[in-house]
A = this chain, B = another copy of it.
Amino acid sequence: MTYCCALRLDRGLVFMSDTRTNAGVDNISSCRKMFGWSDENAVITLLTAGNLATTQAVVSMIDERLKSPGERHPSILGLPSMFAVARMVGDLLKEEIARAGSGQMNADAGTFGATLILGGQVRGSPPRLFLIYPEGNFIEAGDDMPWFQSGETKYGRPILVRAFEAGMSFEQAVKLLMVSYDSTIKANLSVGLPLDLQIYAADSLTPGPTRRIEAEDPQYLAVSENWSAALKSAFDSLPDVAL
C-alpha cells in the first residue's frame, strides 16, 4: 500500500506521499512516489499509489516525451490546461495497465492497477487538483471535496474531516498532513517514513518548498509526540457520559 494526500487550499496546493513499497510484509523498501515537472508556464505534481511497475512506467513515459519533443505525442509541459494534462496522464495510465495485463493468464483484475493524484497550474487558469482512476478517467477537487487521498486512506481521514479548512496556512496544512500520516503509520505497516512534501503557491508558477521528512525529523517527531498528549486532553475535555 501507500498513502498519498493532496490538499486544495485557497492559497495553493499541498502534496504529501510516503515512500513505503512492499510485496508482502517481508519484502519492503523505500521508493519515491512524488514526481514533478515544471517550466515557465506550468507546474505539475504527481503522486502515485498502486502497482509500482505501472506507476514507474507512466512516469518514465512522461519523462521520455519531454526528452523527444519532436515526436507526435504531446509532452506534459506545453499543454493548454490542467484538464489536458490530466487527460494525457490518465490515458498513459490506462494504456500501461492494459499493456501489462494483456496476455497474462494468472493475474487478477487490479493486479496492475494504480491511482494517481495530479495537481498543479497552467498559466492562465487557476490551480487544479485531480484524482485519476486506473480506468484513466478522473475527478476534480472543488470546494465540497477539497482534498484527495489514495492508497491507505482510512486511518488518516477523520482528522482531515475535522480540521481541514480551505483558508488554512501552508504551515497548518503541513501540520495537518503530518497528523494524518502519523495516525496512519501508527496503525498500518504498509505506510512508512520518510515522507515527501511539496507545496505550490497559487499563481507563483514556480515549484514551492519541497522537503523529505525523515523518521528523525524533529518537527515530525514533535507533532507525533504532542499529538498523543493533545488528543488525550481533547478526549478528557469532552462532556462526561452517564451510564
Contacts and interface: CB of A to CB of B under 8 A. Distances in A.
Contact of A243 (B170, B235, B241): B170
A242 B228 contact: no
A234 interface: yes
B159 A243 contact: no
A199 B7 CA distance: 41
Interface in A209-243: 209, 211, 219, 222-223, 226-228, 230-235, 237-243
Interface residues of A, number: 41
Interface string A157-193: 1110111000000110011101100010011000000
A37 interface: no
A232 B162 contact: yes
A155 interface: yes
A235 B199 contact: no
A151 to B, nearest CB: 12
A99 interface: no
Contacts of A235: 159, 163, 175-176, 179, 230
A230 B232 CA distance: 10
Name the residue among A162, A176, A199 with the largest chain B CB count within 10 angstroms.
Answer: A162
Name the residue among A155, A157, A233, A241 with the largest chain B CB count within 10 angstroms.
Answer: A241
A155 B158 CA distance: 6
A88 to B, nearest CB: 31
Interface of A: 154-159, 161-163, 170-171, 174-176, 178-179, 183, 186-187, 199, 209, 211, 219, 222-223, 226-228, 230-235, 237-243
Closest CB pairs A-B (n = 3): A154-B154, A230-B234, A234-B234
